[in-house]
Chain A
Amino acid sequence: MGVLFAVGLYMMMQKTMLRVVVGGNLLSYGTFLALILSGGLNKGMVPVLVEGVEEYVDPVPQALILTAIVIGFGMTAFQLALAYRTYQETGTDDLDELRHEDEGNGAHE
């Protein structure tokens, strides 16, 4: 999980948009892992309580990461579309170059 976080954050600091998106993805995978761990690991148990079953795994984190994965998926799709549109409009996928284009806009900072 720590590795996923580190790699994800490192990639988000890259210049190319695609790498940034992938980095964001890795970061959220790290989060999913953290979530599933929050229920405690219990290998091979059933997630429902039935008569006669004494050991079970907590189903709530599973429901949580399912939701989180769906949200993350939608977000990635949107980010890719956004990155592509930005590339089409500006002709570059380099975040540094995007910044330089900004200078002529009037506001001084």
Chain B
Amino acid sequence: MSEHFVFLPLLIPFAAAVALLPLARRTRLQRVIAASAVLLLLLVCARLVVALRSQGLIVYEMGGWPAPYGIVFAVDLFAALLMLMGAITAAASLFFAFGSVGPQKERYFFYPLLLFLVAAVNGALMTGDIFNLYVFFELILISSYLLFSHGGRAGQLKESFKFVLLNMISSAFLLVGIGGLYALTGTLNMADLAVKVAALPDKRIAAALAAVFMFSLGVKAAMVPLFFWLPRAYGEVATPVAALSAAVSTKVGVYALYRVFTLIFIHHVEYTHKAVLMALAVLTMVIGVLGAIAQMNVKRLLAFHIVSQIGYMLFGLAMLSVAGLAGGIMHIMFNMIIKPALFLVAGATEQVTGTADLRKMSGVIHRAPALAFTFLAGGLGLAGVPPMSGFISKVTLFYAGFLGGHYLATAVAVGVSFLTLFSMIKIFRMAYWGPQDGLPSKQLKAARGHGLLLAPGAALVAAGLVMGLGGSYLIDYADAAARWLMHPAWYVAGVLGESSAQALLAALEVVAP
């Protein structure tokens, strides 16, 4: 495998997006290029995951400048797994977009924006430089702003404005945090930061900076109490955009939290992880699911479930044990598959019924049984019913919770699972079950051509199912990724060399005893 191979996940979507820009009028050609780019990306990511299972970490130095002076890309198994899931979702959203966005939007750079978003996400996952992370976050946000406001309906514009504003504040704080870290240590390389922060005699400033990072990344990850922008914004945007954003945007925030809080801020575990993050994780789960239960708009309801599931991922991080992180990683992966699947199926249902309001839908199952059963499978998977992989990740999280002695938080997590199930059954009962008199006859005709819209969602649900059935492989990979996260010295050794890793270990020894 060539040394530059690792750079491809960033290069492919970026190059394809740039190539698409002058082709705005030729929609068919655009579709072909976008689809082949995403499929190629899928293959590359799969290859990367397999390579990293044995290798652990691939470091790519930009321009050949050695770390910590140059900017490095350091891809570990965790990042590669997320990139793979992101690529799968991007492919599904793209194929859904073919059938649903319409020529007007296609001509106004819809596909290039989608690809820019994918490129930026991959960049954020791969980078080993904290300022670079900020830059990729901004790229993700700019492409999502444009996608969110794409089409320009009043509701969309309004929600985009709030979304932009909040993320601007969070980015400002992220920059302040980065500036603070730089002032403290004089480096921006994440591995180098880990070593230098560990070697600080007085770590109280680092703890304050940890709070700044938690705030700004928490906004991006839609953690309670910073989630309020998400449900409304996702309720308004086009379905493929909502699906892709649901899969990747918030998860990148979670990824950054995982990275920063397993590598750099690991010196006050008792209160940063076990107290603050744990409390926030539990609150996020509960408030997200309660918000979902109160909703009647399908997309907003699903968006609240995103928030609730983020809670589970943070729960995994808050435990800071191999089992907890492995459960969290699996949950992130599973959600990156199943959440967009539900959004896509709900979007297809919306096209069939002509409304997103649950009270107005009824009896879709008579017209589109495949749609109904796909949603049921996905919804049950989200609630954690076997054999979907959500079951495996949740069981791992609960197991880790009991192992770590977090009985209360684990009990809440189990309870939230039941509420999730309840909420999924509510959608199924109101939208798909029941008499079909709720639909005007014009819509009944439209219901015929939903097959093309169903396929991507069904494929994602099937992927979730395969991941569940091949659970032993999944656990194997997630466990390996979690082990790498739990051993920051391995990461440091990969980026900076063995001597720095020894320095980190020595510094940790002094503090730990």
Contact = CB atoms under 8 A, between A and B. Distances in A.
B451 interface: no
Contact of A31 (B164, B175, B235, B295): B175
Interface bracket on A: 35 or more
B160 A82 contact: yes
Interface stretch (B97-105, B151-159, B427-435, B471-479): B151-159
- The B interface is mostly helix, strand or loop, or mixed, namely helix
B169 interface: yes
B179 A38 contact: yes
A68 to B, nearest CB: 6
A12 B165 CA distance: 8
Nearest to B160: A82
Interface in A1-56: 9, 12, 17, 20, 24, 27-28, 30-31, 34-35, 37-40
Interface in B318-370: 357
A109 B176 CA distance: 35
B149 A28 contact: no
- The A interface is mostly helix, strand or loop, or mixed, namely helix
Interface in A52-75: 58, 60-61, 64, 67-68, 71, 74-75
A103 interface: no
A82 B149 contact: yes
A89 B138 contact: no
B32 interface: no
A27 B166 CA distance: 12
A41 B202 CA distance: 23
Interface residues of B, number: 36
A45 to B, nearest CB: 16
Contacts of B135: 67, 71
Contact of B179 (A9, A35, A86): A35
Nearest to B141: A75
B296 interface: yes
A61 to B, nearest CB: 7
A86 B157 contact: yes
Interface of A: 9, 12, 17, 20, 24, 27-28, 30-31, 34-35, 37-40, 58, 60-61, 64, 67-68, 71, 74-75, 78-79, 82-83, 85-86, 89-90, 98, 101-102, 105-109
30 contacts: A12-B169, A28-B172, A28-B175, A31-B176, A34-B176, A34-B180, A35-B175, A35-B176, A35-B178, A38-B180, A38-B183, A39-B183, A60-B182, A64-B131, A71-B138, A74-B142, A75-B168, A78-B142, A79-B168, A82-B161, A82-B164, A86-B161, A89-B153, A102-B155, A102-B158, A106-B296, A107-B300, A107-B357, A108-B296, A109-B295
